[in-house]
Chains A and B, each alone.
Chain A
């Protein structure tokens, strides 16, 4: 484990990813402290150009884009992380049970997974969001998580069923360990790195899903997210008035966030999945 971390820190991909994440985190934590104003306060006219007063100009409401960006990124990351956690836990439970128990339970769970994999998650997202009376950030995060578990479930199932007949698992079985105990001590430690990698990918996917659904006009209410900033920019024709500061920064942040997560994942993949290493 220790050597793995050392090798991980030698992987340029992982380091670059981590660095980007740290810079973004630093920004969203520190900027609201420097600029104490409310992110929805009107501080100027709409679409004011970047100036020394407003580094990234103002948006269609005349609010400071940079400050909004800090709050928006915060919400988007929060939604991404929560969605990632929900998706990973759900996928982990379903994958573990399916892969370890096998038989009829595996058949049912696996079929369910396969069904959900072919139904586009955005459709389920739209259907649920449209009919919600209130869309809080928490609810949005949960439904994103709930719609994206099949990938994790499938990967975990494959890993688990390959572990199921290993010697150490059989020994634990013969020794009379209970199923939860075997799963916890004989299976989980072996797939821990996979689970963590799945979590990273799910978080990135969560951030992208939030942006997608917000751009469709189904953003969480009473909040600022990166997707919502883009949605307003499009709705108020920021592109046609060439107010690049209203739509490029949120796009860039989304791209860098997901890029850094993918990079970290790729770096870890090379360490834990030696086949790909070349």
Chain B
């Protein structure tokens, strides 16, 4: 039986600009995460996926602000507790984060081990350093990371190594949820492979129980995740099992997105690559209705009249004015 680890509902967060405008980069996002799952979040750049990753940590600082919604971990809404207990009981311990640019994620004047020590002491100040050392050495060995790395400064490490070290550090406390924000985007292909294997290894060894993986590269999602959420202009517009979403996307945007990407898979050879016309809407403006309407081939006037509610096809939610069968019909007709 899969355990429910994270339950996010109606989470809305915004950026404040210099001119005091609010940009809702994450808008009423709702989803749940169970143990054993690796959820991939995909979307164009600027769609809010990295902001969602940050927002899930329950810790906000300017220019990002919390607006509304709840984030439940262990049935506790982390938006309702004090920062001190959030830090001590959740950050790094229940929910951990791997930043987009591991290159600069480590304090350049601290040796790796001392950084690990600061993290572990931050959650249990009574833990003796010798114990921490044992844990760190053990963990690095298990993950096939050289021990000397612990005594190095960050810029003595290569890019790929730094990324792996950051992953090892983030998971040192065995968090149940790991949020990885484009951990492979700055790496070459072979380092990407190593990092993905490391993440899988963490799941297999039960060091983490679930992963939220953010990327704009669908092929990577295909190889690592169990589920996919598609994000567009701050909203989750579709969610489902990885193969369902990739090979049978429901939402016109998902469809267009899949059409713009090559997935090395049987039967994809005949597919033509098509670019999506237009640009995402400006989130500064208050938007009603479907946010993809302006770029959508199937748009009808009703699309922008009222907000679109989630529809379900079996267990798969999606946000479109048309239902599944209607969309299939239009699609067939088009071909």
Contacts of A278 in B (CB 8 A): 62
How far is B62's CA from A277's CA once the two chains are assembled, in angstroms?
11
CA distance A7 to B18 in the complex (A): 9
CB distance from B222 to the nearest CB of A (A): 30
Interface residues of B in 314-328 (CB under 8 A from A): none
- State which residues 7-21 of B face A: CB under 8 Å: 18
Distance between Cα atoms of A7 and B62 in the complex (Å): 20
Smallest CB-CB separation from A270: which chain B residue? B18
Q: Can you offer 3 A-B residue contacts whose CB atoms are under 8 A?
A: A7-B18, A277-B18, A278-B62
Q: Which residue of B lies closest to A6 (CB)?
A: B19
Interface residues of A in 146-197 (CB under 8 A from B): none
Contacts of B18 in A (CB 8 A): 7, 277
Count the B residues whose beta carbon is within 8 Å of the partner chain — how many?
Answer: 2
Give the distance in Å from the alpha carbon of A278 to the alpha carbon of B18 in the complex: 10
Q: Which 3 A-B pairs have the closest CB atoms?
A: A7-B18, A277-B18, A278-B62
- Least distance between B301 CB and chain A CB atoms (Å): 35
- Rounded to whole Å, the gap between the CB of B12 and the closest CB of chain A is 25
User: Interface digits, B62-73 against A, CB 8 Å rule (1 contact, 0 not)?
Assistant: 100000000000
Contacting residues, chain B, for A7 (C-beta < 8 A): 18
Q: How far is the CB of A9 from chain B (nearest CB, A)?
A: 13
Whose C-beta in chain A lies nearest to the C-beta of B19? A7
Contacting A at CB under 8 A, from B33-62, are 62
Residue of A nearest to B62 (CB): A278
* Chain A, 247-278, CB within 8 A of any chain B CB: 277-278
User: Within the complex, what minimum Cβ distance (angstroms) separates B17 from chain A?
Assistant: 11
CA distance A277 to B17 in the complex (A): 12
Cα distance, A139 to B299, chains bound together (Å): 73
Question: Measured between alpha carbons, how far is A112 from B55 in the docked complex, in Å?
Answer: 50
Measured between beta carbons, the chain A residues less than 8 angstroms from B62 are 278
Q: Roughly how many angstroms separate A278 CA and B16 CA in the complex, as a whole number? A: 12
CA distance A136 to B18 in the complex (A): 48
Q: Which residues of B contact A277 (CB under 8 A)?
A: 18
**Alpha-carbon gap, A173 to B294, bound state (A):** 39
- What is the bound-complex CA distance between A78 and B50, given in angstroms? 52
Shortest CB-to-CB span from B171 to chain A, Å, is 30
Q: Which chain A residues in 1-52 approach chain B with CB under 8 Å?
A: 7
CB distance from B272 to the nearest CB of A (A): 28
* C-alpha gap A278/B62 in the complex (Å): 8
Query: What separation, in Å, do the CA atoms of A277 and B18 have in the docked complex?
Result: 9
Q: How far is the CB of B291 from chain A (nearest CB, A)?
A: 26
Considering the chains assembled together, what is the distance between the CA atoms of A277 and B16 in angstroms? 13
* Bound CA–CA A130/B18 (angstroms): 52
Alpha-carbon separation in the docked complex, A251 to B18 (Å)? 38
Q: How far is the CA of A278 from the CA of B63 in the complex (A)?
A: 9
How distant is the Cα of A277 from the Cα of B63 in the complex, in angstroms? 11
Q: In the complex the two chains form, what is the Cα distance from A7 to B17 in whole Å? A: 13
A-contact 0/1 string along B164-200, CB 8 Å cutoff: 0000000000000000000000000000000000000
CB-nearest residue of chain B relative to A274? B18
Report the nearest B residue to A7, measured CB to CB: B18
For the complex, what is the distance from the CA of A277 to the CA of B19, rounded to whole Å? Answer: 13
Q: Which of B212-231 contact A (CB under 8 A)?
A: none
Give chain A nearest CB distance to B223 CB in angstroms. Answer: 30
A143 to B168, CA, bound (A): 58
Closest Cβ of chain B to A49, distance in Å, is 51
- Once bound together, how far apart are the Cα atoms of A53 and B62, in whole Å? 58
Q: Which residues in window 71-90 of B have CB below 8 A to A?
A: none
B303 to chain A, nearest CB (A): 33
